[in-house]
Amino acid sequence: MNSGNLNPDKNNFDENNPGINSYIKNNIQNKDSFAYRTGKVSPVLKENYDFLRDAFDADKNFDIVFRMFKVNLDSEFVDAFLIFYDGLSNKEYVNRDLLAPLMSGRLKIKSPCETLEDSIHQCIISQAPNSRISQLKNIIELVGFGNCAVFVDGCSCAFVADIKGWGSRSVGTPLTEAVLSGPQEAFCETVMTNIALVRKILKDPNLIAENIPVGTVSKTPCALMYINGITNKKLVETARNRLKSIETEYIFSSADIEMFIEESTVFPLPQLLKSERPDRVAAQLSDGKVAILVQGSPFVLILPASAGDLAEASEDNYVRIAEANFMRFVRLIGCFLALFLPGIFISIALYHHESIPTDLLFAIEASREQMPFPIALELIVMLLSFELIKEASIRVPDPIGSTLGIVGGLILGQSAVSANIASPLLIIIVSLSALGAFAAPSASVSRALSVLQFWFILFGTLAGFLGLAFAIFTLAIYLASGTSFGVPYLSDIANPFFVIPIWRREKRPRNLNPQSVRKQPHISRKWKGDV
């Protein structure tokens, strides 16, 4: 790539990174400056000032602030400027913690060994965390992330203070994983807050949060969290490698990361778990899994995921065992209905009339006598209508939401039956199936079930229960052959059926092959011997 007069050996900019190169190449006017040639902070303040004004396109960007000031150095004044984004940095901290100490005259060089840079650094650090950075590329990235950079004439480094002050949502309540009996905290869009939420639950010094920026331009901070000594090292390495090998300009959310690192995009079910609950993430980490937190997304990715994980809901851990097992049973029934009920119904209605009780059969026949549509078409139309209602209800404004519900449910549904467009039985089937999908513990699973049911409907229409057997077999084989970060997808298929008491969860899941298998002794209730 043409880099002008730059010496490639001394060029610290990434030649292959078009993002960096584009604004350097297009914006920088003075290509002979030290800053441009070396990519480092120049001791000449003006060079830095001009470089950065060009780099940030300050004439066009009205939210970038270049503030010139003079550092009061023991009755001597040195030119300086600071740079930050209005809206990303906290201006109060800028004034109080950066400008005030530097301009107040408290800055003194205490000994001949101490340089100007050391003095400034010591002066600022008592007020705000800061680091000395000489690479302009890094300074530009950090300022873009909400930090404030201070440049002083004569210093060959800049002082980047972490005084982020952007507006963000505070810790709220979970929207998609609501529970009645458990904690009500949810992740927010700030990755550091999210890490803190997990760390305050686990309180384990071995809990590692590695920062892996993803996105060549956006440099979105992603935290790879795992517990050293528990999590399988190969799993961590795989996750790290996959994150680091993502080559894209911008990453906007955890969904993008998910699509980049999952094994197969066309796999019918999610291969990574998504959670917005810190307690759930903490529990999964303690079992030996890895979590990926992405700046700007309240959904944390947990890997690896297997079929058994998809059946777990957070509520299971906060209620008594009998209730938890009953709820899980109901949930599994719901998933079964969502997936199979329409397919079973269409198979029986088209091919296996002998399976229908006689009374019901004649009732169905009487109701269908005046229906103009074949039953398969009617079923598909009803299912698609329900999907339309689901989609519309997400976007409909609150004030008219309830009214729309009444219109859709009562008037349209009732009218459809009265006009002999839809049969009542079919409406019941579609409703049960939809309710079953909503009973799934995770929104991704719910959506996946809604899509997968059409696979069974297709083959049920083609060949009845033989077609259903074919559909079930092919799907099961595909799931069985899938893996999530090396762990077979169906490796813990027996788990979803029972919730066991916490005092019996002695070992970590075997399929994760953790470093430490046992998490509690066989007798974990020491008081038991006293009774």
Partner 1 sequence: MSDINTKNFISFENRSFYFVLINLLTFRIFSRLPSLFPKFSGSAAALSALFSGVIAFGVIFLISLSLKKHNSPNLADAAFAVFGKIGGLIVCIISAFCLLLSATVTLGELCHLAKAISFPASPFWFVLLFFAVSAAWGASRGVDALARTHSIFVPVIVLGLIVLIVSTVFRGNLSNLVPIFGSGAEAVFGKGLSGTVMYTDLLVFFLLIPPKSKAPIPLKKILTASATGILLTCLFVLALNLSVSPSIISNDSFPFYLLMKEVYYGRFFQRIDSLMLLISSLSGMLYLSLNASAFSHVAGRIFNPHRQKLIPPFYIAGVSIFTLLANVLSSKIIGFLFFAFAFAGILLVIITLFFAKRRVPDENI
Partner 2 sequence: MKIFSIFLAFVLSFSLCGCYDSKEIDETAYIIALGIDKAGSSGFNYTFQFSAPLATTNHEGGGGEKEGDSKENPTVRNVVINAPDFYTAKNLTNNFLSKTVDMSHLKLIVFSASVDQNGFSQHSQFMLREREVRPHTAVALSTATAEEFLKSINPELEANTAKYYELMSLRSNNVYSPTKQLSDFVDEISSESGVSCLPTASPGGVAQPSAIQSSANGWISIGDTNIKSQKARMQGMAVFKKGQPAAVLDGNFAMIYNILNRDIKSCIITLKNPRLKDSFLSFRLNIPHPAEYSLDNTKKPCHIKISQGFDIEFFGNNLPSGFSSYDELFSFADRSITQQISEYFYELSRGCRADIMKIGDSFKKSFLTSEKFLTSSWESMFTSAEFDVDICFI
Residue 511 binds what, of partner 1, partner 2, none (CB under 5 to 8 Å, by partner type)? partner 1
Question: DSSP of 376-410, one letter per residue?
Answer: HHHHHHHHHHHHHHHHHHHHS-HHHHHHHHHIIII
Instruction: Please report whether residue 335 would count as binding partner 1 according to CB under 8 A.
Output: no
76 or 369: CB nearest partner 2: 369
DSSP 501: P
- Give the shortest CB-48-to-partner 2 separation in angstroms: 53
The verdict on 486 binding partner 1 (CB under 8 A) reads: yes
Q: How far is the CB of 234 from partner 1 (least distance, A)?
A: 7
CA angle 425, 332, 423 (to 5 degrees): 5
User: Is residue 388 at the binding interface for partner 1, with CB under 8 A as the rule?
Assistant: no
Question: Of the two residues 94 and 349, which places its CB atom closer to partner 1 in the complex?
Answer: 349
Residue 417: contacted member of partner 2, partner 1, none (CB under 5 to 8 Å, by partner type): none
Query: Which uninterrupted H or E stretch holds 452?
Result: helix 443-481
* 404 alpha-carbon distance from chain centroid: 32
Say how far apart CA 271 and CA 484 lie, in whole Å: 6
Binding mask 439-468 for partner 1 (x = CB under 8 A): ------------------------xxxxxx
Please report how close the Cβ of residue 428 comes to partner 1 at its closest, in angstroms: 17
Establish how many alpha carbons lie within 13 A of residue 362's alpha carbon, considering only the half-sphere containing its beta carbon: 2
C-alpha–C-alpha distance, residues 519 and 504, integer Å: 10
Under the phi-then-psi rule, with left for phi > 0, alpha for psi from -120 to 50, and beta for the rest, what region is 157? beta
The reply to whether 255 sits near partner 2 by the rule CB under 8 A is no
Cβ proximity to partner 2, 166 vs 362, nearer residue: 362
Residue 354 Cβ vs partner 2, minimum distance, rounded to whole Å: 4
Between strands 290-294 and 483-484, the pairing is: unpaired
173 contacts 185 by C-beta, under 8 angstroms: yes
- Neighbouring C-beta atoms of residue 261, cutoff 10 Å: 21
User: Cα dihedral angle (270, 272, 276, 279), rounded to 10 degrees?
Assistant: 130
Q: Are 84 and 69 in contact (CB under 8 A)?
A: no
Q: Which one of partner 1, partner 2, none is in contact with 366 (Cβ closer than 5 to 8 A by kind)?
A: partner 2
Q: Which of 109, 117, 114, 146 is nearest to 134 (CA)?
A: 117
User: At residue 58, what is the residue type?
Assistant: A
Q: How far is CA 225 from the centre of its chain?
A: 13
Stretch that binds partner 1, among 67-75, 89-97, 345-353, 383-391 (CB under 8 A): 345-353
Size, binding site for partner 1 by CB under 8 A: 37
Size of the site for partner 2 (CB under 8 A): 24
Residue closer to partner 2, measured from CB, 364 or 427:
364
Decide which of partner 1, partner 2, none touches 513; Cβ closer than 5 to 8 Å per partner kind.
partner 1
Q: Which of the residues 339 through 378 are near partner 2 (CB under 8 A)?
A: 349-351, 353-354, 358-359, 361-369, 371, 374-375
CB of 458 vs partner 1, minimal distance in Å:
13
**333 lies in the site for partner 1, by CB under 8 A:** no
Q: Is 429 in the site for partner 2 (CB under 8 A)?
A: no
What is the pattern of x (binds partner 2, CB under 8 A) and - over residues 447-486?
Answer: --------------xxxx--x-------------------
Beta carbon nearer to partner 1, 149 or 468: 468
Terminal-to-terminal C-alpha distance of the chain: 78
Cα-Cα-Cα-Cα torsion 340, 343, 349, 352, nearest 10 degrees, comes to -80
- Pick between residue 83 and residue 303 the one whose CB is nearest to partner 1: 303
Per CB under 8 A, contacts with partner 1 among 465-484 are 465-470, 472-474, 476-478, 480-481
List the one residue from 8, 112, 167, 357 that touches partner 1 (CB under 8 A): 357
The Cα–Cα gap between 374 and 459 comes to 16
Question: Which amino acid appears at position 340 of this protein?
Answer: F
Binding string, 220-259, against partner 1, x = CB under 8 A? ------------x-xx------------------------
The letter for the amino acid at 126 is S
- Please tell me whether residue 1 adopts helix, strand or coil conformation: coil
Give 155 or 348: the residue with its C-beta nearer to partner 2. 348
Sign of CA dihedral 179, 181, 185, 187: negative
215 makes contact, choosing from partner 2, partner 1, none, with CB < 5 to 8 Å by partner type, with none
User: CA 291, CA 289: separation in Å to the nearest integer?
Assistant: 7
Pairing of strands 300-303, 273-275: antiparallel
Residue 70 near partner 2 by CB under 8 A? no
C-alpha distance from residue 159 to each of 52, 111, 139, 156, 377 (Å):
15, 21, 9, 10, 68
CB of 484 to partner 1, least distance (A): 11
User: To the nearest whole angstrom, how small is the minimum distance from the Cβ of residue 468 to partner 1?
Assistant: 6
Burial class (CB within 10 angstroms; exposed 0-12, middle 13-18, buried 19+) of 478:
middle
Q: Where along the sequence are the contacts to partner 1 (CB under 8 A)? A: 232, 234-235, 347-348, 351-352, 354-355, 357-359, 463-470, 472-474, 476-478, 480-481, 486-488, 490-491, 493, 511-513
Q: Where along the sequence are the contacts to partner 2 (CB under 8 A)? A: 349-351, 353-354, 358-359, 361-369, 371, 374-375, 461-464, 467
